[in-house]
Structure formats: C-alpha cells, structure tokens
Amino acid sequence: MTQRTHSLAKRIQRIRRDQVERTRHRRYRAARLLGDPQDGTRGGAQRHAGGVVLWLTCAALSACGIIDPNLDAPNSRSLDPIPAEYHAWYDEVQACVQQYRPFHHISWYVSDELFLDGVEMGGVWRGPATITMSSDYVLRERAVKSEMIHFAMGAGDAIHGTGVFERCTPGWSE
C-alpha cells in the first residue's frame, strides 16, 4: 500500500467514525428530548407538547378572529339570507378604497346584542373575513359599509382616523 493510499484510507476511516459519532449524538439528543419508548420515560418535548399545542391553537384562533376574548355577541347566528343591498354597497366600498377582496369570502353573522370591550357596537369586523352585525344595524348603510371597509382593507382600528370612513361612507363621523 502506498503512502497516498494509506493516507486516503485513514481519512475515510476518520470520516466514517465522525459520522457514527454524530449519529450517536443526534440519537442521544432525540432520546433526551423525546424520551425513550423502551423504558417509558417522557422527554421534555412530550412533557410540554400538550401545553404548547393548546397555547398555539388558542393563539391561532384568536388571531383569526374565531376566538375574541373582548367580543361579547350572545346568540350570534349566521346572517342568512344576506341582504341584497350588501352587494351594491360592497361594490361602492371597493371602488372607494381601491382594493379588491371577494365579497363571497365574508362570513356574515348577526347578534341581538354586540359588545366589544364592554361598549355596544353596531358591527364588528374580525379578520380575516368575519363580520358580525347587531340586529339593529343590519340594514344601516353606514354601519355595514364601515365593516366592509375593514374587510376590504384587511385592517382593524389602525385605519380609523385616516379619513377613509369619511370618504367612503358619507355622513360618517368618528
């Protein structure tokens, strides 16, 4: 065996040994994190996974507007049928804000009482596409259009004070 061949063989052995060592280390870390199924021990990931999954689920639902701890809408139900005026009103809103989001993406709800942070509301937009209207405001153009503006722009309270409501819903006062 030549010097060069011997050197190459030693390098290959060293690479294989390092690979074996890295594999052992990865298995050790995985066993420590996940636990050992043979002896029934539970690792850190398993101990905390339930809490993390629950937290992430609640955070996601809250972010999507499915769960809003500040919204109180007892007896809310699907608004069906959707009033015919809504389509024309939404076309006007889209033309005014110059943004397009499909009307059919909106999930409409109605509630006999609608409170947000303890304040009675005419309507509430919850992103990305849920609008709940108080039953007293279902056919009030300005109230409905204001929630449509939130949906069309995909923005919450940050758009208040920008003039968009005054421009797109005549007679609006913030």
Q: What is the pLDDT of residues 92-109, one digit of tens each?
A: 999 999 988 999 999 999
Residue bearing tokens 């009033």: 83
Q: Would you say 58 and 68 are in contact if contact means Cβ atoms under 8 Å apart?
A: no
- Among residues of the chain, what percentage have pLDDT more than 90? 29
**pTM flag (> 0.95):** no
Selected residue with higher pLDDT from 33 and 8: 8
The pLDDT of residue 27 is: 72
The pLDDT of residue 144 is: 94
| Strands 130-134, 107-111: pairing kind | parallel
> Which parts of 35-101 fold into alpha helices (H)?
44-63, 85-97
Q: What is the mean pLDDT of residues 119-141?
A: 90
Q: What is the spatial distance between Cα 129 and Cα 131, in angstroms, rounded to a whole number?
A: 7
The pLDDT of residue 65 is: 41
Q: Would you say 131 and 123 are in contact if contact means Cβ atoms under 8 Å apart?
A: yes
The pLDDT of residue 73 is: 64
Maximum average pLDDT range among 19-23, 37-41, 49-53, 129-133: 129-133
Per-residue pLDDT tens digits for 53-70: 444 444 444 444 444 444
- Among residues of the chain, what percentage have pLDDT more than 70? 68
Average pLDDT score over the chain? 76
Q: What is the spatial distance between Cα 122 and Cα 115, in angstroms, rounded to a whole number?
A: 9
Q: What is the mean pLDDT of residues 154-168?
A: 82
